[in-house]
Structures are given as structure tokens and as C-alpha cells.
Chain A
């Protein structure tokens, strides 16, 4: 047992290029034990061993590539002290050498090491942990009480409440006897599960309903941080609030709770559902007269002038710049030459032109995400100037030995190699190929109506990324769609899901909402095949140009989009210049094309929206785009009347 922990500690030290043995390495040795005591105890405190290991690695950092200046693999003075303590504890228990409990107790008793500091940061009480470690000699743990789940008739049980979700709900409401699942509010595009639930006491008394969001642990923790940073102090008095204490992180999922002021039925309904009830016209009015004034003051109307290069705000939304198959340092060295080196100075054109299988080096990128199960890591630019720049230029590496690599979030990787699997454009074409195109997806033009074609947006979007935009910056929600906007008592709007809240390009929220309305309200008006989706295009052109729409179902469904445009006009840097909006729309719609969670008909429309938004940029005759070409002129006349 002791030997295993020590070997594991030495391996960790080597992985991290530390070349000494500290308390932190022993701690990771304890974390690495399968079904180990430490892992089980952390589980009781709502954190996973993976998360703690990652946090520790981030705290310590990886050592430099060159060999350290000291010889051998010495133990630190603190590790020596800790081991002495562990041996004492073992001797007292008449054991020859310490077991995992002895080492853990010694680390807790020493009380001043890096792991202790990390545990404190995670709000884990050290004495509580020691008490539990002592109590565990029998191997029995206090388990959370079993909460009974009730399902209201409104809840669609086929909506995929799985074992992990149930486990999280039990952890979140373990002081209650019963939890009634009222309904699912939104699946969102992120794969998160959002439920309205009512906790019920043992005596049958019902507490106020709350909104619960369950998603992967990393994004839940991130959402809590964003809420505290951007949202907490900016909310109007009556609206959804994140409860102070979030949750349990078990498996790789976690949950959090939002309290809110319910409507007369005791619940809250998302606009995705309400939109059908209230009708498109009323939805538009509500967005303008309720949502925007209610949140606007502290959010979108805080706008400040903001000049940025488009990639700085939008590149991170797009599919990976490159997807690579992992190549080891040794193999890369043996290959002698690289087809491309991606460093901080990104040359997107070169990245796009590269062939399948070519060997690429990625220098000084940071670890953005670790997909343990899928054996992938996602790297990004990692410049600390802003969050979206930090995440820009995602590069996905496949077939990575995660355990051996010792990767941790935010780690800067000096050199990483891989062979090209696909480029960003390949990813777009792949998504488009799933949509049964009745045209050549890779062709230079795509049909927008039955007679008019526009340049394929997948081939033209890239230039937008290098443009400079004068827009506005404010606090934004970052994922504003109909499912995240709820209505409570007295018509009061509230927002949920702050996983992407940040200080960012103001227009992005409205572009996102416009896309959501198109997908959820406009697209259902047509059959959904390509020919029927193209019927929507002429209406969009009229709308974009501010011309009146005819009186028919498609035009009516577009009324909330017009309302969004009226709101957006108040958020632009220059109310007469929609360049920043159309650039955002062109890129955000292409991104939506990638969403497996969006319906195929809506994704078809997204391709047309991107083409039209880019056409608007040309048609508006802004100096940086090519002047209106003959196609656009045809389109111009072709659309002067709705067919």
C-alpha cells in the first residue's frame, strides 16, 4: 500500500517535472488510488478527485524543461516531517508502515502544505475531513438520505433524466423528504438539463419551487464564478438568483439552484413555451417593454465604446481551427520537419490550406478543456487580455493519453505536435453534409432562392475575423435564447443560465436571441426542406433593409425579430451603422450550423442567414468589403418584392 502511494507520488513528480517529492505528490498518490479513502471523503464534500488533482496541478505549475539544479529526487523538509508523522501514527496502530489513512491523517495534521491550502480554498474543513478519515476505519460512511422523487404530470419522463441527474438531485435536496419534478424548462444547446422542482419537507410542507441546472462539473463551477463576478450585483430586485451554496460535484456532473419569484401558477415558464401561448407579436412587445428595460439598465445599456478585431470576440465560438491526431515529442523530432507551426501569431490562411496528415507544431497554447473519456484536449490561444481572446483559436488534439500527460486546465504547453485530422472549414462542411443539401456544399455559390445564389458563407466568413469593428462593450448574458428567458409573477422577466455571462460585445446577445427566434418561431412555419427554408430568405432581406413585410404567417413569425432589432439599435456604437451587428450575425449563425441540438431545418436556415448577413455587409457598401457585385444587384432587385 505505502509502496503504491510512493510510486504514484514519484510518477506525479516526474510528470510535472518537479524532480523532488513533496506532500502534494503524496496527496496526488492518495487521489490516484482506485476507490481510495481520500477520493471517497472528497466525494462526501462534493468534489471529485479529478477536480482536486487539476486544481493542485494548476497551483503548483509544471517545472521547466531543463533539469533542476539540485541532484537526485530529494524529499522536501515538509514531506519528511509528514512521513515521520505518518510512521508514528502507523506505529501507534502497530503497523510496520503507514497505510493511506495514516498518510492522509499526517497530511491533515501537519496542516500547512499545498494540498491543505487547496482544500481550504475549496471550502473543505480540515478538521472535519480528519474526523471522517478517523471514523472510516470501519469502512462505513454516512450516506446522504434517500430522497423520494415525484414527477408531476407536466414532466415528460422521456426527457432523459438519467442516473447521474438523480444522484445530483438527491445530493442537492438531501434535507427534504420528497422532490417533485415539475417540468423541464430547457435543454438549451449546451446539453445542460434545466428543471423546475419543488422540494417538500417530511411533514408534507412544500417549499418554494426552484430552478435546477445540471451540467458537466467544470461548466457549473464556471457558471457560479461568472454569476458572482458579473451577475450578482447587477440584477433587478425581483428575479432569479443563484443560491449561495452550489453543489455537489460527483461523476463529472454538478448542479446549481436558482430561486425566483414564481408566476400565479407557482411556476415559471420559459419564453420557448410561452411564445406559442402569447403569439409572436406579443412576444416582441414583451421583449421590448419588459425584458430590455428590466435588465437593460445594468446590462446592455452600460455600453461603452469598444473597438476590437472581430476574431477577438468571435473566433472562440467557431469550430476548432485545427483538429489534430496526437504525435509524441520523440516522433515529431524523428520526422525532422513540420508543415506548420502555430504560435501566438496566427496565420489562419496557412492553417486552412494544410493537407490531411501533415505534421503540425503548436507552441505556447494553453489547455482549455480536458475530455478524459474522449481522450482529447482542447488548446487555445491563452492570451490573458480578455476571456474571448484567451479562448480564441481552439485546437483540438485527439488520441491523447490523458493520465500520462498530467494535463491541467490553463496550463501553457510549450510544444505540442499532431497530424492534421481536419481544419475548421472541414468541420463546417461536415456539418453541412449532414443537412442533405440539394446543392454542392463546397461550391462557390449557394442558392438563396430558386433563382438567386450568393457566395458560400463557409468560404467567405474568414475575412470577417480580421476586420476591425467599432461597437459597444457591456455586461452580456452570453447565451441569450428563448429557453433562458423566463416569466415569473407580475410579468416580470428573469434570466437563467449565466454560464457565459461576461463583459463583451453588446450586439452578441441580440444576435443570439434573433437566431433563437428564427430557429424556434420562424422555421416551424415552413416544411423544413431546403426549398421551403429558402422561402424565408426574401422576408429576411426586407427585414434587414427595414422595409415593410406582407401580412402572412412567416412575416408574423418574424415580428419578434423586428423587436430584437429595435432593441439592438439602442445598443449599437452608431445607430445608423449595422456593420457590427451583421458581422456578429454572420459568424453566430455559422456557429449555430454546427449545433447538433438545433433542428435540421433551423440549421439549414442558419447557412442562408450567414450568406445574407455577409451580403448585407457588402450591400451596405462599407469600405472594407468588396463593392456590391452583380449577384448582389440581382438579389437586390429580386427581393424588392416578396414573391
Chain B
């Protein structure tokens, strides 16, 4: 793996509508067993720090890039990690892992987010 990249948009809260771009080339994420992992949580040493969300845990969740797409893992958070199933917010079990459909919303603490489709460089 050489070039790993994650584009996402914050979908709620004070930063609602903010697009974010993370890339391993500028030091975001870590490699775990050959897959790229983006750490999300309230503490500032996360790859995606949520310092304005009092309901997120210090190290709340991980976004994991696998060959078959993005996966979301709860890291034993207090207030939970949720996935929007179109009808309801579904709370993930503690430390559970789930595949994210393209464009599917998920919530870390109170912050909703969405992974954007990869930008194709022309």
C-alpha cells in the first residue's frame, strides 16, 4: 500500500458540512496488518479528532480500509457508535465491526459523518 486516502464530510454539529481529507502521505492513519486504519475520537492525537463533541470517547472508533470497502469499528465507546440504516440509527455493539455501504451515514458520539466517493484525479 502506497497511497491511502479518505474523504469524508461532517454531517452534523457545529462543523456540519465540512469536508475533510485524510491521507497517509501527510501522516494520517496507521497500518495494522496491512490495512489502513483511521482513528476517530475526542482526544487530539486521533487522526480525526472530534474535540467539539462531548459525547465522543477519547478513542472512540476506527475506520478501516479493506479491499472490499470501508469498515467501521467501535472501540468500546461510552455513548456508542451508530449506523444509519435508512429507517433508524442502529447502535453497534461495543467493539463490534461493521461494513459501511457507500454513502452510508454513521455517528460517533453525536457527530454524524459520511465517507465521500474517492475523487478521481484527472
Contacts and interface: CB of A to CB of B under 8 A. Distances in A.
Contacts of A70: 14, 52
Q: Chain B's interface: helix, strand, loop or mixed, by majority?
A: loop
B70 interface: no
A64 B42 CA distance: 14
A113 B16 contact: yes
B54 to A, nearest CB: 4
Contacts of B86: 120-121
Given A112-B11, A117-B105, A121-B86, A76 B54 contact: no
A64 B54 contact: yes
A61 B17 contact: no
Contacts of B110: 60-61
B102 interface: no
B54 A74 contact: no
B18 interface: yes
A488 interface: no
Contacts of B17: 76-81, 112
A221 B89 CA distance: 18
Contacts of B2: none
Interface in A55-109: 59-61, 63-64, 66, 68-70, 74, 76-81
B87 interface: yes
B52 A22 contact: no
Nearest to B109: A61
Interface string A489-516: 0000000000000000000000000000
For chain B, the bracket of interface size reads 20 to 34
Given A61-B110, A77-B18, A121-B86, A20 B54 contact: no
Given A77-B15, A78-B16, A78-B17, A61 B55 contact: yes
A277 to B, nearest CB: 44
Interface in B80-122: 84, 86-89, 105, 110, 112
Contacts of A68: 14, 52, 54
B52 A69 contact: yes
A60 B18 CA distance: 17
B78 interface: no
Nearest to A23: B16
Given A64-B54, A64-B55, A69-B52, A121 B13 contact: no
A126 to B, nearest CB: 15
Most chain-B Cβ atoms within 10 A of its Cβ — which of A20, A64, A74, A77? A77
Contact of A79 (B16, B51, B105): B16
B11 to A, nearest CB: 7
Contacts of B11: 112, 114
B51 A22 contact: no
Nearest to A113: B16
A77 B55 contact: no
Contacts of A121: 86-88
Interface in B1-27: 11-18
Contacts of A19: 14
A577 B42 CA distance: 54
A76 B14 contact: yes
Interface in B35-90: 51-52, 54-55, 84, 86-89
B87 to A, nearest CB: 6
Interface string A103-134: 00000000011100100110000000000000
Closest 7 CB pairs of A and B: A78-B17, A77-B17, A76-B16, A20-B14, A64-B54, A78-B16, A77-B18
Given A19-B14, A77-B16, 13 more contacts: A18-B14, A22-B13, A23-B16, A59-B89, A69-B51, A70-B52, A77-B15, A77-B18, A79-B16, A79-B17, A80-B17, A112-B17, A114-B11
Interface of B: 11-18, 51-52, 54-55, 84, 86-89, 105, 110, 112
7 contacts: A61-B110, A70-B14, A76-B16, A77-B18, A80-B17, A81-B17, A120-B86
Interface of A: 18-20, 22-23, 59-61, 63-64, 66, 68-70, 74, 76-81, 112-114, 117, 120-121
